[in-house]
């Protein structure tokens, strides 16, 4: 069973259910979405593509399709994740990724998936470090959503925001 994800010109861009054992990639071919003779294209977490196998697709067409995939990589990563439930990225097999909506910009981004225990640990450390007993849910969501590098940079700012929010007198 082949799953047609989309078409680009006369080419089918698709994956098959057994592909879930591998890192994110798509098969490309025409005139039908079949695996035999198809090209294989890896997709990286930053949108870069790599031709793993040319198959019967002319290289000039395949390069154009790779550019199309790069421009729309979040769409292709989301389709893969919706079907298989996870993203393993070529070249980074030890990490799990997810396509998620960025809480601050509203844009979809690819980020490393963290375990729930890691998220809870980050919240617990934050609360202990700044002497905060309870944390509004909206701040917990932000703390969990931010990538580690951004969190390290913005943690003091969030601590000030939380303290200001908690220090405000409650009005009826």
**What is the structure's pLDDT at 65?**
94
Query: In terms of pLDDT, which residue wins out, 5 or 96?
Result: 5
pTM, rounded to two decimals: 0.59
SS3 content of the chain, % helix, strand, coil (to 5): 45, 25, 30
What values do phi and psi take at 104, rounded to 5?
-85, -40
d(C-alpha 161, C-alpha 78), whole Å: 33
Tokens of 25: 């990639």
Tell me the average pLDDT across 159-167. 74
Query: What is the predicted pLDDT for the residue at 28?
Result: 93
Q: Which of 12-16, 18-22, 136-140, 143-147 has the lowest mean pLDDT?
A: 143-147
Domains of the chain by residue range:
3-94, 116-167
pLDDT value, residue 60 = 94
Considering only CA atoms, which of 69, 90, 71 is closest in space to residue 8? Answer: 69
**Is 39 a residue whose pLDDT tops 60?**
yes
Predicted confidence at residue 156, as pLDDT, reads 82
C-alpha to C-alpha distances, 9 to 15, 38, 51, 92, 112, nearest whole angstrom: 17, 15, 18, 31, 33
């Amino acid at each position: 069973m082949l799953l047609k994800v989309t078409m680009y010109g006369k080419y089918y861009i698709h994956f098959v259910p057994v592909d879930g054992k591998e890192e994110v990639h798509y098969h490309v071919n025409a005139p039908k979405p079949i695996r035999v003779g198809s090209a294989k294209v890896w997709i990286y977490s930053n949108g870069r593509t790599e031709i793993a196998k040319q198959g019967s697709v002319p290289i000039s067409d395949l390069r154009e399709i790779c550019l199309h995939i790069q421009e729309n990589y979040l769409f292709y990563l989301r389709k893969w994740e919706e079907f298989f439930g996870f993203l393993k990225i070529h070249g980074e097999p030890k990490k799990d990724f997810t396509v998620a909506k960025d809480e601050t910009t509203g844009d979809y981004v690819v980020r490393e998936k963290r375990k729930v225990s890691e998220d809870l640990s980050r919240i617990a450390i934050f609360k202990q470090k700044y002497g905060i007993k309870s944390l509004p849910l909206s701040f917990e969501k932000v703390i969990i959503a931010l990538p580690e590098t951004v969190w390290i940079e913005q943690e003091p700012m969030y601590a000030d925001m939380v303290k200001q929010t908690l220090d405000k007198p409650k009005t009826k």
